[in-house]
Each structure stands twice: as structure tokens, then as C-alpha cells.
Chain A
Amino acid sequence: MTPRGTSANFNRWFGRGWLGLGYVFLFVPIVALVVFSFNDSPIPNVWRGFTLKWYAALARDTEMLAGLWLSLKIAFLTACGSVVLGTLTAFALVKYKRFPGRTLFSGMSTAPLVMPEVVVGLSLLLMLVSVQRALGFPERGMLTIWFGHLLLGVAYAAVVVQARLHDLNPQLEEAAMDLGARPHQVFWLVTLPMIAQSLVSAWLLTFTLSLDDVVLSAFLSGPGSTTMPLVIFSRARLGLNPSVNAVATLIIVVVAVGVVTASWFIANAERKRRREMAAAAHA
């Protein structure tokens, strides 16, 4: 073997090794969560045998179940609101290159992505408290948590939709205009179907973000509105807790199934669209 061949071989194996170790690092905690949810021991990191008792205990855990129900409601509302506002944000930034305050607008739309959550949570809470002092509402609870999650969700949804809008061929919209479609018709009949899959991705992403959020919820929740992550967090703070592992496993299974199904559908829709485009080009 030539020296060049040896070094190429070394590079290939080094690359595979690095990727492999990287994936092990990324997935070990997830695998451990799932494995130890079936562990027949109150110490959830030393294996003692198989059991389902933590799942049975979960079914009776009213605090956790109430938190889960509240979290699901908030996540649903957050995902819907974020997709609508995020799409508008993305549209404004992609379609309109000039309007007063555009720099401020674009900065504000990406800042929540990286702004420390403690700062966003604190500032939003103090604003809501000030408004409540002046107007008498809103009370801290589900509504205020929704506001917080919406702020974060809009930023994420805007990034996802913006990426898709940039890749669109503007000629299709122009063609529709030339054929006499009004701007709102162009939007509903041409643009929306083409960005539909990015809206689905944005919806799923903001749903999971909301379902997972601790910090914003902690600042914005009131008495009686404890979301599931807040329940998990308060238990995790005290130490290891097998019921947390059981919840974790259920969430991981649901999310994995959801994400895989959604990406399968998106890939299928994309393939169908390509076929139709190719067919149209031939005709």
C-alpha cells in the first residue's frame, strides 16, 4: 500500500470513529433514561431487574398527570400561535426589504433564540405585573405562560419558515399575479401550499419546545398552574427519581414516533411534488 493509501485509510477510520463516539455521547443519556425506567430498584442508576411498577405508579400520580394535561394544552396553543405569527414575521422579512424599523424588527425576531431564558422570563413577568397593576389583569397562570412560550416559539417558527421562503421560486408567484390572481389569492393558492411542510416542521418544533420549557414557565406560572416540566424539575432537583425516568421514556417514545412519522410524510410529499414538477415540465 502506498503511503497515500494508508493515510486515506487512517482518515476514513478516524472520521468514522469520531462520528461514532460523538453519537454515543449524544445518545447515552437517552438510552440510560429508558433502560432505568424499567429498573426494579429505588436507586435508578444501578440495575436490579426488570419491572413496570414505575409506570403503574405514574398512572396514579395525579400531580404529574395534571401537569401533563396543562402542558399539552399550552403546547398546542403555543404551536398554533407561533406558526401564525412566525409565518407573518418570516413574510415581512423576506418579502419586504424596506420598511421603517426593519433592523429593529429583524433583531427582535432572532434575539429570543439566544437570549438567556432567565432574562426573558423575568422581564416578561415584570411587564405583566406592571400591566396587571394598571389594568387589573392578566392573572398569572396558563395565559401568561402561553405569552412566554409564544415569544420563544415565534422566533423559532420564523427561522424555519424564513429558510423555506428564501428557497421559493418567486416566478411562480409572479406567474399567478400575471394570470390575474389577487395578492391574497396568490398567498392561499400558491405560496401556502409550497411552504406547508415548513409550517408542519415549525408547528412540531414549537410544540416540543413549549412542552419542555422550565424557566419561562417558572417565572410566569401562578398558583395551581404547574406544568409538567416544573413537576419534573422540582423532583429532579431533590435527586434521582424513577418516576421521572418513566415519564421521560413515554415522552421520548411519543416524540420519536411523531418526528419519524412527520418526516416520512414530509419526505413523501416532497417526492410527490418533485414528480409532479417533472411531469409538468415534460408536458
Chain B
Amino acid sequence: MNALLARIGGRTVVIAVPFLFLLVFFLFPFVIVGKISVSEMETVSFKDVLTWSDGVLTLALRFSNYVFITEDPLYFKTYLASLHYALVTTLLCLFIGYPFAYFMARARPTLQPALLMLVMLPFWTSFLLRVYAWRGLLTEGGWVAELIFASGLDQVLYAVGLIASPGKLMHTPFSLVLGMTYTYLPFMILPLYGNLAKLDLRLLEAAADLGATPWVAFWKVTVPLSKAGIIAGSMLVFIPCVGEFVIPELLGGPETLMIGRVLWDEFFSNNDWPMASSVAVVMVLLIIVPLAIFNKYQAEAQESRK
């Protein structure tokens, strides 16, 4: 075994095994999806793009799915809505998560491991069950629903158009955004905390010595220095939110269409595999720019650790 390893070289094995795994199970499937998205649907499955019969090789590409996606207003609206909800969720997570991570990083050092553990703990408990729990909390009689009704907050939510009528919180844009913010908040807090905990406090002292008020120092020193954390956290929230399926399905309503649900329905209800593939290709195109930003940041973070 060791002799064999030595002959082909440990280095080659260490690189080749995971590389091949990722090529076969990650990249190759995307090629297949691209292929099927331009193929024709047969009764139960899809036709091959390349066919060989009687000595003739035929290449049949069908772009009608893409034409349909761009021309059908429902699809367009759904894509826009997905981006919109993902953006709102990201901003909310940033609004709640930035001060949260900031105060965590400024807490007593002995307390910080426990605070960090408490942020990780919900992350360890089932995501599906936590989303389900919000159904109970937001339906009539639930703790949060009663609190919102008692405080009259539902009138405010109704006034800004987040719920269709006061007194009904479930299956609205409100419950959807709440569920996504809740689920992805730790993904915002963790990179921000990692970043803010490393901040050199002498820089803030220097700013104070130079006459900056704490508020000015915060905006001119702390925030710019935590840019990397803000980008990482925002991407970790935004990208999965665009394609989210479970949360819109359990907490969203008929008017909160999201692209993950459309893909699911095309596949499981309509059995239209080429259409589902086209939706997937467009979804990947939507997130490819944020994904590239995220990867670039990851690579830079790895380099700067050295």
C-alpha cells in the first residue's frame, strides 16, 4: 500500500481523489442540467440532445424554455421577487447582526466563548424544525402572534403592506422574511464576529486621541475595517436565500412566489425536467456574480491568514 502510494506520489493522490469527486458530483451534473435544459420532453423523460440513427448524427437544441422564461411575466416576476426577498432578508440580518456581533466582540473575553456557543447552538438544532416552530408561533394563539396583536404591531405591518389584513400573519411576505431572517442570522453574525473580534482597539484609541467622537470613530474606523466580514456575511445570507425552498413552502403564501418553489413544482408536480433545468440554469446565472465575490473574498481571507 505504502509502496504503491510512494510510486504514484502522495501528493497526486491527495489532490486527485477530492478533485475527481467534485468533478463527478458537482461540475459534471451542471453540464447535464445545461444539456437537459435544451432538450425535448418525452412522455415520462427527456430526449437526448445528440441522436444517432441511420448513419445521421442529429443535434437537436431547443431553446423554447429560455424564450418562455424571458417572455412569461410570471417567471420574470418570480425571479424579481426572489431577489427582492433575499435582499430584504440580507439587509435585516445585517441590521440585527452587525450590532449583535459588535457587542459580542466587546463583551468580557471570558464570556465570549459562551456567547459564541449560544449563537452556534440553534445552528446545530434542526433547521427544518426551527422553521416549523415559527408556524406555531405565528398562527393565531401562538406566543409571537399574540404579542404582535396585543401591541398593535399588526396594524403597522398592514399599513406597510407586509401582511394582507391585520390579524393574519402566516403565509404573508412578513412571515416569509421573518423566517429567512431568523434562519440566516447566525450566518451573518459568525463572520462579522470573527472579523470584529480581531479589530485592533488601539486604532479606536488613536481615533479618539485625534478628536473623533465614538460615533465618528465607529463609522470611520470600525465599519471600514469590518468590510470583509460584511461582504462574507451578506453573501452567505443572500445567495442561499435566492433559491430557498423550505422556508417559502412552510411560511410563505400563495402571493410570495419564489424561484426555488417554481423549480420544485416544475420538477415534482409538472414532471417537466427540461423546464426545471432551465429554471435552475437561470437561477445559477442570477447568483453567479455574488458567488464570484464570495469566492474571491474566501481566497483573500485564506491568503491573509498566512
Contacts and interface: CB of A to CB of B under 8 A. Distances in A.
Interface string B69-103: 00000000000000000000000000010011011
B75 to A, nearest CB: 15
A93 B22 CA distance: 14
Given A114-B235, A166-B302, A232-B132, A252 B14 contact: no
B132 A114 contact: no
B129 A33 contact: yes
A126 B37 CA distance: 11
Q: Residue among B19, B142, B243 with the most chain A CB within 10 A?
A: B19
B276 A122 contact: yes
A85 interface: yes
B129 A263 contact: no
Interface in B1-37: 2, 5, 10-11, 14-15, 17-19, 21-23, 25-30, 32-33, 36
Contact of B125 (A183, A244, A251, A263): A251
Contacts of B15: 92, 96, 99, 105
A184 to B, nearest CB: 6
Contact of A256 (B100, B121, B267): B121
B306 to A, nearest CB: 8
A19 B267 CA distance: 42
A126 B36 contact: yes
Interface string A50-91: 000000000000000000000000000000000001101101
Contact of A32 (B29, B33, B143, B245): B143
Given A22-B100, A130-B32, A29 B128 contact: no
Q: Which secondary structure dominates chain A's binding surface?
A: helix
A215 interface: yes
A112 B295 CA distance: 12
A237 B244 contact: no
A109 interface: yes
A236 B243 CA distance: 20
A25 B22 CA distance: 37
A112 B126 contact: no
A170 to B, nearest CB: 11
B188 to A, nearest CB: 11
A213 to B, nearest CB: 9
A45 B136 contact: yes
B177 interface: no
Interface size class of A (residues with CB under 8 A): 35 or more
B119 A28 contact: no
B100 A114 contact: no
Contacts of A219: 267
A108 B135 contact: no
Given A28-B143, A251-B125, A123 B30 contact: yes
A116 B288 CA distance: 12
Contact of B22 (A105, A113, A256): A105
Contacts, number: 240
A173 interface: no
A114 B236 contact: yes
A121 B189 CA distance: 27
Contact of B137 (A45, A126, A215, A233): A45
Interface string B288-306: 0001001100110010011
A30 B22 contact: no
Given A123-B30, A252-B125, A88 B100 contact: no
A110 B295 contact: yes
Contacts of A200: none
Contacts of B263: 118-119, 122
Nearest to A253: B125
Nearest to A108: B22
B135 to A, nearest CB: 6
B221 interface: no
Contacts of B10: 183-184
A162 B298 CA distance: 12
List the 6 shortest-distance A-B pairs measured between CB atoms, nearest first: A116-B243, A29-B133, A123-B29, A127-B29, A15-B103, A45-B136
Interface of A: 7, 11, 15-16, 18-19, 22-23, 25-30, 32-33, 36, 43-46, 85-86, 88-89, 91-93, 95-96, 99, 101, 104-120, 122-124, 126-127, 129-130, 147, 150-151, 154, 158, 162, 166, 183-184, 205, 208, 211-212, 214-215, 218-219, 229, 232-233, 236-237, 239-240, 244-245, 247-248, 251-252, 255-256, 259, 263
11 contacts: A15-B103, A19-B115, A22-B100, A96-B15, A106-B298, A108-B26, A122-B277, A183-B10, A215-B245, A244-B129, A263-B117
